[in-house]
Amino acid sequence: MPREQLKRALSALHQELEAGGELAEEDRAALLNAADEIRETLAGESAVPPSEGDAPLSGRVSAMIEEFEATHPKFAEILSNVSEALANLGI
């Protein structure tokens, strides 16, 4: 069930990104990279393991939530759903 929750949240994220909206290109790229990394993690095929200094995936998603809360609340809400699903999966 958490895996399906995560897939739905990622789908919602892609729909919002496709809808356009006012989003800086660097923010759009960061969201797309995060979504790709989550999909790779789910598939068990992460191409590049995180460096020792990198924050865990869930920590990076949480940081993105904080970053988007004021400027893009819809993305923050979707990322919150992603974060919850990651936690439910133990990622």
pLDDT given at position 47? 47
The gap from C-alpha 48 to its chain's centroid, in whole angstroms, comes to: 17
More confident residue, 17 or 53: 17
Dihedral Cα 65, 67, 73, 76, nearest 10 deg: -20
Q: Taken in order 4, 2, 27, 52, is the CA torsion positive or negative? A: negative
Residue range 28-57, pLDDT digits in tens: 999 999 999 888 888 875 545 555 455 688
With a pLDDT cut of 70, the percent of the chain lying above it is: 87
The pLDDT of residue 45: 52
Mean predicted lDDT score pLDDT of the chain: 84
The reported pLDDT for the residue numbered 73 is: 92
